[in-house]
Structure 1
Amino acid sequence: MNSYFLTLVLKPDLEEKTREELLGEIKKKLTMDNGKLTKDDMWGVRDLAYPIKKQAKGFYAHFEFDAEPGVIKGLDNSLKVEENVLRFLMVRV
């Protein structure tokens, strides 16, 4: 099992309920197959350095977790197709 950091930038205009549902799904995927979420920080809405998908701001969320490599591939694929995720960065530490 490896340790990872995941930082997400979500659309800033999402309703709180929709955002919480999306983040809940992501947390659920992180803890699949005996994964362990060690830290989650919601950084809130911040200005972007440059527009992404016509958005000048984004809602930032940061997770630190332990998971199997197979879980990472599935999570990566699902984040790529999620329309409410502007950008994400997942790094093994």
Structure 2
Amino acid sequence: MNDYYLTLILKSDLDEGKRKELLSGVLKKATGESGKINKEDLWGNRDLAYPIEKHTKGFYAHYEFSADPAIIPTLDKNLRLEEDIIRYILLRK
């Protein structure tokens, strides 16, 4: 098990239900069967430093979690393919 940081920027125009569903799905994939969330920090809607894909605002979410290193490549691919995620960064602690 390794510890990781994950920071996401979601589209700011997502409704509350869709956002919660997306974040819970990402967390389920991130932790896998044996991982756990150590810290969750939702920063809310903020202005972006520069426009990204014509978006000037984004919903920020930051997580610290423990997971099996084998699931990280799959998680990275799923995050890249999710159209409601503007940007993300996934780092090993």
Same fold (TM over 0.5): yes
Q: Secondary structure at the match of 1:24?
A: helix
Aligned to 1:73: 73
Aligned to 1:5: 5
Q: Distance between the aligned counterparts of 1:42 and 1:81, measured in 2? A: 22
Choose 61-70 or 29-38, whichever is displaced more.
29-38
* Mapped partners of 1:75, 1:50: distance in 2: 26
Distance 1:2 1:31 in 2: 11
TM-score normalised over the length of structure 2: 0.97
Alpha-carbon distance between aligned partners in 2 of 1:81 and 1:12, rounded to the nearest angstrom: 18
How much has 1:68 moved relative to structure 2? Answer: 1.0
Deviation of 1:36 after TM superposition, in Å, equals 1.0
After superposition, residues 1-93 of structure 1 pair within 5 angstroms as 1-93=1-93
% identical equivalent positions: 54
Structure 1: tracts of 5 or more residues without a match:
none
For residues 58-85 of structure 1, give each alpha carbon's deviation from its aligned partner in whole angstroms, at most 9, with x where no partner exists.
Answer: 0000000011111111110000000000
For normalisation by structure 1, the TM-score amounts to 0.97
* Moved segments of 4+, more than 3 Å: none
Counterpart of 1:7 in structure 2: which amino acid?
A: T
Q: Answer whether contact 1:33 1:71 (CA < 8 A) is retained.
A: no
Q: How many pairs are equivalent? A: 93
In 2, distance between residues paired with 1:28 and 1:11?
20
